[in-house]
A and B are shown apart, each in its own frame.
Chain A
Amino acid sequence: MKKILTLMLSVVCSLTYAQEQKKQSSFKNFVKEKYVNYTDFGIFLSKSYQIDTYGTGYGQTVKANTAFTLQTYNGFKVYKNLVVGATVGVDWFSDYQVVPISLGIRVSSGDPKLKKVKTFAGMDAGYGFMWLNDKSSDRDVIKGGLTLSPTVGFLIPTGGNANFTFSVGYKRNLFNITKVTGSQEYPYITQTDYELNRMAVRLGVNF
């Protein structure tokens, strides 16, 4: 993951550096022409379902759960309406907070210059970091994991150069928590594999 991040950063830096060789105005032009940002916030909705934890036939209802999400996508147009970039965000689940850092693409329909409602689609894939979570003891292990976020939505022109965005998508977060209690010699180990599959509804801006 780190390697990918480093690579990504170096690409961005070298692009920037290359631009600085030219005239200031052409750099500005490049940003104006190629730079794309999507910043949005939204909610993750989960479905209620039944589990039979103890295998006794007496099920337990897992309640539907809503979580909050915030993310920003920064990228550059590489071909027509295809944008390549990276997403950083925070997903506030009730017990754990995930910081997903992903690589992603955005594709929008129609001519960007036309002031009318357009559609867009995006796909992010990356790693969810667990930096925001405390450990209850040094023996605990908190491991992040894959995050995946395909989305589709509308771009609604604001009047200026920006768009409001409304999108619906899917978000998958994986992480693993190991809690250790008990004595040193006889630990009580509770290891939980989280697989959170949520429907995401987001509002935001794009420019």
Chain B
Amino acid sequence: MKKFLFSTLLMAALATALSSCKDNCVQTVTYRGTESFKISLAELRSSLKTFPAQELENPGKIYVKDNYLFINEVKKGIHVIDNTNPSSPKAISFIQILGNIDIAVKDNILYADSYTDFVALDISNPKDVKEVSRTESVFLNGQLDGLGWTYNAPDQTIYDSRYKIYITTQEISCDPQPQYYYGWGYYDVASYGGIKSGIAQSTTGTGGTGTGVSGSTARFAIIDERLYAVTQNDMKLFNLKNPSKPSYDGFLNLGFGIETIFPYKDKIFLGTTTGVQIWDNKNPQKPTFLSRLDHARACDPVVVENDIAYVTLRSMNNFSRCGPAFSNQLDVIDVSNLASPKLLKSYQMENPYGLGIDNSKLFICEGTKGLKTFDASKSMDIKQLQHFKDMNAYDVIPLNNTLMVIGKDGLYQYDYSNLNSLKLLSKIAVKAIM
């Protein structure tokens, strides 16, 4: 009897256990997706304002003019920094220019893109910047960081998108079925041209005395009285005879995958995703194609000094606009004969973004891997000197012994008078994320 009772109880317990034996699996997915938004032309054109200095959030390209340093806040505007003393830069103001990516300055006029428009601003008083001219609807689309925007004429609206971190939590089957991916979580920022930048030294003949210094991967370049703005597939020409009233002079078709422009002597070097193009600019009205040197598809800013061009190729382990190159390297190219550039040597790199050169002092940004300095006095034997690992660097301007490095974590300035031992002068950190 006792046994029977025990067995019955046992069965009852088992039945309970059985009914509760249900798996429970919860999956939390964190990824960066995109979120689209639109801006009307009216909104775009009324948005240009000067604000008090703001903290950096998502810095883009940098540009130097005299004692001023301009840091682009991607698609938001420009931070104006008084850099008279690189050891303690002072933020002066923030110019809100929606859709801004590139900057160029000549005398007191700052030229900037603002989605579709090309604007000229009088910056003689950086705290109260005035719009002096606006060339409307010259750019019809653009791409940065893998995000494209387009202008839709019928409804006078710009369609753009931005990245957003998505976190989703859901109950899933514990015996998982094939994974579903919702967003494009694969983008590699700065791999899309645009953001990264090297330098265009004034010593290389960039423009006249009143022009500033930009990165090698800048898409804007001023040479004398002309501003060249490269887009994905063409070069827009602006006449700056009257600096405050630039006029649009039409465009040249360049093919596709154009990333950067670097003026050198009377030539224009274009970094594209497939190689380097060299254009003759003897007649600024009509640059003519000279030659090209092809390489595997990769993102590749280019800088030139003493007839030697330095190009970095960065491979991506994911699909991106720059294409699937397999190597990360620095190519040194002899361009003394511009009609037929010759590859001299390739050096292995880790993850190169922008680069800069000043008197054979070569600086290469390695993205998350930091910044490297090289002695490039012998092209065939470029020696690495220092490696700063604890920083994120994608853009660099070496100018008068002050090295300005921009990365996702902020702007660093170094004194590079002694190349063997760079001295940190200051850092402007990006706003901490809450």
Contact = CB atoms under 8 A, between A and B. Distances in A.
Contact of A62 (B6, B23, B188, B318): B23
- Chain A's interface: helix, strand, loop or mixed, by majority? strand
Contacts of A21: none
Contacts of B18: 45, 47, 199
Interface size of A as a range: 35 or more
A47 B170 contact: no
A184 B368 contact: yes
Instruction: Pick from B10, B17, B189, B318 the residue with the most CB of A within 10 Å.
Output: B17
Interface in A151-207: 152, 168-170, 181-199
Contacts of B400: none
A173 B6 CA distance: 28
Nearest to B32: A186
A145 B28 CA distance: 18
Given A51-B172, A169-B17, A46 B32 contact: no
A183 to B, nearest CB: 4
B29 A53 contact: no
B428 to A, nearest CB: 21
Interface in A35-82: 45-47, 49, 51-55, 60, 62-63, 65
B187 interface: yes
Contact of B188 (A51, A186, A199): A186
Interface string B307-329: 00000000011100000000000
Contacts of B174: 46, 62, 65, 194-196
Nearest to A49: B22
A20 to B, nearest CB: 41
A33 interface: no
Nearest to A178: B28
Contacts of A188: 29-32, 181, 185-186
Contacts of B175: 62-63, 65, 93-95
Contacts of A55: 170
Contacts of A197: 20-24
B179 interface: yes
A173 B368 CA distance: 39
Given A169-B17, A182-B186, A183-B187, A46 B28 contact: no
A119 interface: yes
A185 B317 CA distance: 12
Given A62-B173, A182-B185, A119 B6 contact: yes
B24 A119 contact: no
B22 A47 contact: yes
Given A45-B21, A197-B20, 12 more contacts: A47-B18, A47-B21, A53-B172, A60-B173, A65-B174, A152-B10, A168-B14, A190-B28, A192-B176, A195-B174, A197-B22, A197-B24
List the 6 shortest-distance A-B pairs measured between CB atoms, nearest first: A188-B185, A189-B30, A62-B173, A188-B31, A195-B24, A199-B21
